[in-house]
Chain A
Amino acid sequence: MSSSNFRALQASNQRKTFGLLAGMAILVTVVVYAALTYFGQGGIGIVPIAVTISLISVWGSYYSSDKLVLTMTGARQIAYEDNPKLFDLVQEVCIASGLPMPKVAIVSDTAPNAFATGRDEKHALIAFTTGILDVMDRNELQGVVAHEMAHVANRDTLVSAIAATTAGAIALLSDFIMRMMWFGGRRDNRDSNSNPIALVASLVVLILAPLAAVLLKSAISRKRESLADATAISFTRNPSGLRSALEVLARDNTVVQQRSTAVAHIWIESPLDGGSVSKLFSTHPPIQERIATLRAMESNPL
């Protein structure tokens, strides 16, 4: 890592997210272009349909994410009296970040983990498993709370909704087009481009595009995790807390009960079995890498 101060890390992760989102936009353009090459102008009508379906399916869950995730993960919202120490920690990070107080929830699960969601900072919800509250000390929990509040500050629910919408639209588009090829074939052979190389190329694009979209989506998610680590340090100025929390998570090999891939990206540590998921598809950077980055920050604080 060339630089180990959090401001530089924040800037570089923001830049990379932007680059990846631009990559998504380019991918959409390429898919549309491939569809046009194959079908001629007749194919253009399906683009808005695919985008609309994808928008509706993702944005409903984005808008009510704070309530939806509660039911999906079985989290229970708590009040100050239920856990004063946890609330104190959250208040501390709110003061450090200037963010409003989020809703706080508990998931009954022995695996240590935590997540943040909500469409904006006023509808934010952060949740912790009972396992993480048992196993971590004050300093480590403060790092975890700061990481979750960093997701809120960076609007990561929005970023991942954008990524999911685009990836969804691309998958739908290439699916539609494949079906049209299967059933209808190319209708306007006479005036469309019949260069065989272009046709083969557009087929290849349509087959590979959904895969590329998923890869981009995972890459965005990984960048947002690194960004949240850096932003958390900008709040607490205490890399050792989060570092030692991640070490606890790395040592622990229990896994959150529900392994739904739909909500995998929101946890602080990936709930999916690390061994079976290759690095390119994983939603989180390798935990050892995150620990090493934080360790570098500890030796070079500002």
Chain B
Amino acid sequence: MSTTLIIVIAALVLIVLYAISGYNKLIRLNISVDEAFSQIEVQLKRRSDLIPNLVETVKGYAAHEKSALESVVAARAKATTATTVTDVAAADGALTQALRGLLAVSEAYPDLKASTNFLALQEELSTTENKVSFARQFYNENVRSLNEAIKTFPSSLFVPMAHVSVREFYVVDDPQNRQSPNVKF
């Protein structure tokens, strides 16, 4: 009698421990997704902070490239107000596009390209672009693990308990955006 009781209790304890670890796994994955998203926002903010300086520098040498300059400023303004994943991704894509345009235009101004200010900005801009794109990639990896855990058995059992839901991927429209604007040295 008592052995059966012990076996039943042991089985119950094991089931409870299993449920706790399954629940914790989902919560942990959900937190990593949030953290990864805030990393994207940190890097986008960094890039956005570089832009006024970049615009000023380019203006000094190529003031009449109005359209390229204006589209960067407009895209930056839009990016600062976005909040949802889709909006942030869209604004991010537009700004990346505009920056690429501005850098392409700058190619035509040897004085600008030679200025020390611009050279320093280029390194900062290219590392920030890399950081933005790695942060996107890391976020999507985390979303992938979370979504996989939510949709596959047995981790799917704990979804109602953990109150987590499938998250959306950070998709930037333009396929070219997978690469950062190519800054030549």
A and B form one complex: yes
A96→B137 contact, CB < 8 A: yes
Cβ of A279 < 8 Å from any Cβ of B? no
Is A98 an interface residue when CB atoms closer than 8 A count as contact?
Answer: yes
| In contact, B123 and A95 (Cβ under 8 angstroms) | no
Instruction: Point out the residue from B36, B123, B130, B185 that lies within 8 Å of A92, measured CB to CB.
Output: B130
Contact partners of A88 in chain B: CB under 8 A: 123, 127
Tell me the smallest distance from the CB of A212 to a CB of chain B, in Å. Answer: 39
CB neighbours (8 Å) of A95 from chain B are 39, 43, 131, 134-135, 138
Question: Closest CB of chain B to A180's CB: distance in Å?
Answer: 47
Known contacts A84-B123, A85-B123, A138-B126; decide if A96 and B134 are in contact (CB<8 Å).
Answer: yes
Contact B185 A89 (CB under 8 A): no
User: CA–CA, A92 to B128, complex, Å?
Assistant: 8
Q: List, in ascending order, chain B residues with CB within 8 A of A85's CB.
A: 123, 127
A137 interface contact, C-beta 8 A? yes
Give bound CA distance, A235 to B126, whole Å: 17
A92: B residues at CB distance < 8 A: 127, 130-131, 134
Chain B positions 118 through 159: 1 when the CB is less than 8 Å from some CB of chain A, otherwise 0: 000001001100110011011000000000000000000000
Q: Which chain A positions have C-beta within 8 A of B138? A: 95-98
The verdict on A91 contacting B127 (CB below 8 Å), with A137-B185, A138-B185 known, is yes
Kindly state the separation between the CA atoms of A26 and B134 in the bound complex, as whole angstroms.
42
Residue A237 lies at the interface, judged by CB distance under 8 Å to chain B: yes
Q: Report Cα–Cα, A97/B138, bound state, in Å.
A: 7
What residues of B have a CB within 8 angstroms of the CB of A236 in the complex? Answer: 134
Q: Which of A93, A95, A237 has the most CB of B within 10 A?
A: A95
Q: Name the residue of chain A whose CB is nearest to the CB of B128.
A: A88
A96 to B39, CA, bound (A): 10
Judged by DSSP, the binding face of B is helix
The binding surface of chain A is classed by DSSP as: helix
Which residues of A have CB within 8 Å of B135? 95
Contact residues in A for B134 (Cβ distance below 8 Å): 92-93, 95-96, 235-236
- Of residues 160 to 182 in B, which have CB atoms within 8 Å of A's CB atoms? none
B43 CB → nearest A CB, Å: 7
The smallest C-beta distance from A43 to any residue of chain B, in angstroms, reads 41
Task: State the CA gap A268–B81 with chains docked (Å).
Answer: 45
Given the complex, which residues of A lie within 8 Å of B131, measured CB to CB? Answer: 91-92, 95
A 132-166 binary contact with B (CB < 8 Å = 1; else 0):
00000110001000000000000000000000000
Nearest neighbor of A96 in chain B, beta-carbon distance: B134
- Least CB distance from A213 to B in Å reads 37
In the complex the two chains form, what is the Cα distance from A236 to B137 in whole Å? 9
A236 to B131, CA, bound (A): 11
Instruction: With CB as the reference atom, state the residue of chain B lying closest to A142.
Output: B130
Within 8 A of B (CB), among A97-115: 97-98
Complex Cα–Cα for A93 and B137 (A): 11
Give Cα distance in the complex from A237 to B127, angstroms. Answer: 16
- Cα of A91 to Cα of B127 in the assembled complex, Å: 9
Residues of A within 8 A of B36 (CB): 98
Would you give the 0/1 interface string for A76-89, flagging 1 where the beta carbon is closer than 8 Å to chain B? 00000000110011
Q: Whole-angstrom distance from the CB of A236 to the nearest CB of chain B? A: 8
- Per the bound structure, the CA–CA distance linking A137 and B182 in Å amounts to 13
B137 touches A89 (CB 8 A): no
CA of A98 to CA of B33, assembled, Å: 11
Nearest-Cβ distance from residue B169 to partner chain A, whole angstroms = 14
Question: Which of B43, B127, B137, B185 has the most CB atoms of chain A within a 10 A radius of its CB?
Answer: B127
Measured CB to CB, the residues of B under 8 A from A are 32, 36, 39, 43, 123, 126-127, 130-131, 134-135, 137-138, 185
Query: What would be 7 A-B contacts, judged by CB atoms less than 8 Å apart?
Result: A88-B127, A89-B127, A92-B127, A92-B130, A93-B134, A96-B134, A96-B137
Q: Which residues of A come within 8 Å of B, CB atoms?
A: 84-85, 88-89, 91-93, 95-98, 137-138, 142, 235-237
Known: A85-B123, A95-B134, A142-B130. 14 other contacts (CB 8 A): A85-B127, A88-B123, A89-B127, A91-B131, A92-B130, A95-B43, A95-B135, A96-B137, A96-B138, A97-B138, A98-B32, A138-B126, A236-B134, A237-B137
The 6 closest A-B pairs by CB, nearest first: A96-B134, A88-B127, A95-B134, A92-B130, A95-B135, A95-B131
